[in-house]
Structure 1
Amino acid sequence: MSLLPPSELDLRLAPGRPPVLEAPALRDLGSARDWLAERHDAVRGELLRHGHLLIRGLPVATPADFAMIRDTLLTERAAYKEKATPRSAFGDDVFSFWPAWSSRSR
């Protein structure tokens, strides 16, 4: 049972799949940042409810773009401290994921 009330976000939910939020057609990164900022509490609530959330359709093309979107949603960055898995640093605290994890989790 969730303690969070349902949000106004239109999420696509399917068993065994991540929840998906489709962004509308946004003209640029500033519009995407504004769209997310207006929905900040609802998006954070869904992140807490599900533990993850896939947001599709944002005009993110570079690591700096990703960092801007991340910083719109998260108040604290997750540091890459332990260095237990290989990662590539793209700048602005944006790192690659470990591809072996996703193949092992299936």
Structure 2
Amino acid sequence: MGLFDRSDFDRLLSALPGVTLVDQWDARVAKVGGKVFCLLSDHDPLRLVFKCGEGSFDILTALGGVSQAAHFAKRQWVAVQQDAPLSHDDLIAYVGRSHGLIAAGLTRKLRTELGIT
């Protein structure tokens, strides 16, 4: 089932460096250095929310089943429904990029402590 399955979500995202998983906001939330980079909603319709770059935001939100994420103040956060036309590999790549975008904003010291190069 991939990232829309909680156990797969946990397994796949916890493999990234410095990731912690918590239950928050009626969702399973993945954080790096205490900052959210991805979440999986706990209710229907299942949604995966993650940060993306400006170009990716425009491309993704043009697809059916993808929209700007509600409750995220800044643009470039998307909510992807399970029926969106994205492959498992695409989702993994976008979530990995989200992790990198958020990790890049952490201090050098914290990135080093978390094993992020």
Query: Scaled by the length of structure 2, what TM-score is found?
Result: 0.24
Q: Which has the higher Rg, Structure 1 or Structure 2? A: 1
Query: Scaled by the length of structure 1, what TM-score is found?
Result: 0.26
